[in-house]
């Protein structure tokens, strides 16, 4: 039986090293097969996933030999961490390893959106030279509203400061005495006031029941008609039908989305809007970030299988269930 199951397309030198030490079953399309996932998880002691595999209560219950689930990414919203904790299954993740890439990508989306770069590129590629159709907005002197001032939000705000932007922040878990907010000279506001004052709103929150539908018709009504929205965090925080209405009615000026409520999405109105930029959940997809992410999850899986503590646990409990696995190779 395999020691480790990899249910998505995760590869690299660190995975090769893991394969040299343990029995690893690599099934990159398994996440699409719920029944197959239940069958395979029953045979393994460890799982490595990204964001597409639903590690539900049912999956965890089927994994009677499981002692660790590793998420190659910053969020664990596709894993039932509560049930894993109760069952003594360690959940690990990579909280910081892709933060720089995500922050850089967010700035790229922001610039592309406010300067209308994608539509200008497309028009010029068709033989146009319509300079006056693509007058954009400077970031200098504008207010950036950061929703979620964690690591990626902080790094994005630091980069925005280099463009001369003023930082506004909404984060219910932080207070005015937070040293990171002080370093940014950020103004901590409630969400409605942030939306009313920001020229660009950038989202950096996890997908939770509390953040689902966070930005909806009522929230968009608070935004300036000249304001732009960027989301590189989780798609479900935006009610997409309400965003379509806000864009069509001119309540906001444009949006750039790297994540969607359903991935991959069905082609809808957002895909046809000239003031919308859509990318396929690639904010963290740089060679450097993926090397760091994969190395971290592989290291943690090996540590737990050998009876050591994970370096990046999302679960908090004492001794995990099961004894250390023997190295198979």
Q: 144 forms bridges with which residues in the sheet?
A: 167, 200
Cα separations in angstroms, 65 against 7, 154, 245, 312, 329 = 16, 39, 49, 21, 20
DSSP-derived letter for residue 131 is G
Active-site hit among 50, 197, 281, 292: 281
Distance of CA 20 to the CA centre of its chain: 30
Report strand pairing: 166-170 vs 187-188. parallel
Known catalytic membership, residue 263: yes
Of the residues 234, 236, 260, 292, only one is catalytic, namely: 234
- The DSSP secondary-structure symbol of 7 reads -
Query: Is residue 281 flagged as an active site residue?
Result: yes
Q: Is 234 a catalytic residue?
A: yes
Long-range CB pairs of 74-77, under 8 A, 24+ apart, other chains included:
74/98, 74/99, 74/102, 74/152, 74/284, 75/51, 75/206, 75/207, 75/234, 76/314, 77/206, 77/207, 77/208, 77/234
CA gap 44, 245 in Å, rounded: 47
Q: Residue 217: CA atoms inside 13 Å, Cβ hemisphere, count?
A: 5
> Rounded to whole angstroms, how far apart are CA atoms 295 and 229?
33
Q: Which helix (H) or strand (E) holds 5?
A: strand 4-6
Out of 263, 271, 288, 306, the active site residue is 263
**Three state DSSP letters for 21-43:** HCCEEECCCHHHCHHHHHHHHCC
Do residues 163 and 114 lie in contact, with contact meaning Cβ atoms separated by under 8 Å? no
- Tell whether the torsion through CA atoms of 279, 225, 137 and 166 is positive or negative: negative
Instruction: Specify whether the CB–CB gap between 289 and 74 falls below 8 A.
Output: no
Quote the crossing angle between the two packed helices 117-125 and 99-114, to the nearest 10°.
60
List residues with catalytic annotation.
234, 263, 281
């Amino acid at each position: 039986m395999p020691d480790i199951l990899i249910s998505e397309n995760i590869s690299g030198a660190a995975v090769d090293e893991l394969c040299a030490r343990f029995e690893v079953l690599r099934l990159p399309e398994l996440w699409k097969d719920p029944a197959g996932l239940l069958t395979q998880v029953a045979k393994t002691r460890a799982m490595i996933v990204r964001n597409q595999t639903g590690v539900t209560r049912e999956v965890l219950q089927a994994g009677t030999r499981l002692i660790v689930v590793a998420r190659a990414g910053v969020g664990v919203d596709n894993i039932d961490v509560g049930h894993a904790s109760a069952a003594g299954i360690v959940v690990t993740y990579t909280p910081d390893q892709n933060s720089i890439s995500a922050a850089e990508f967010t700035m790229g989306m922001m610039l592309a959106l406010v300067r209308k770069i994608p539509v200008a590129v497309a028009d010029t590629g068709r033989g146009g030279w319509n300079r006056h159709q693509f007058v954009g907005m400077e970031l200098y002197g504008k207010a950036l509203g950061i929703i979620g001032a964690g690591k990626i939000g902080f790094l994005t705000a630091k980069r925005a400061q280099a463009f001369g932007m003023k930082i506004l922040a909404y984060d219910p878990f932080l207070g005015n005495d937070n040293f990171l907010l002080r370093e940014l000279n950020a103004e901590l506001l409630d969400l409605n006031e942030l939306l009313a004052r920001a020229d660009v709103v950038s989202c950096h929150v996890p997908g939770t029941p509390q953040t689902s539908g966070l930005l909806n018709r009522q929230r968009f009504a608070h935004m300036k008609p000249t304001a732009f929205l960027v989301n590189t965090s989780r798609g479900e925080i935006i009610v997409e039908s309400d965003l379509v209405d806000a864009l069509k009615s001119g309540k906001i000026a444009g949006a750039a989305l790297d994540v969607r409520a359903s991935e991959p999405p069905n082609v809808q109105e957002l895909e046809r809007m000239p003031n919308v930029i859509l990318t396929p959940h690639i904010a963290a997809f740089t060679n450097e970030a993926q090397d760091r992410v994969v190395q971290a999850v592989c290291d943690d899986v090996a540590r737990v299988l050998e009876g050591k503590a994970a370096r990046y646990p999302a679960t908090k409990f004492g001794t995990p269930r099961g004894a250390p696995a023997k190295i198979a190779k």
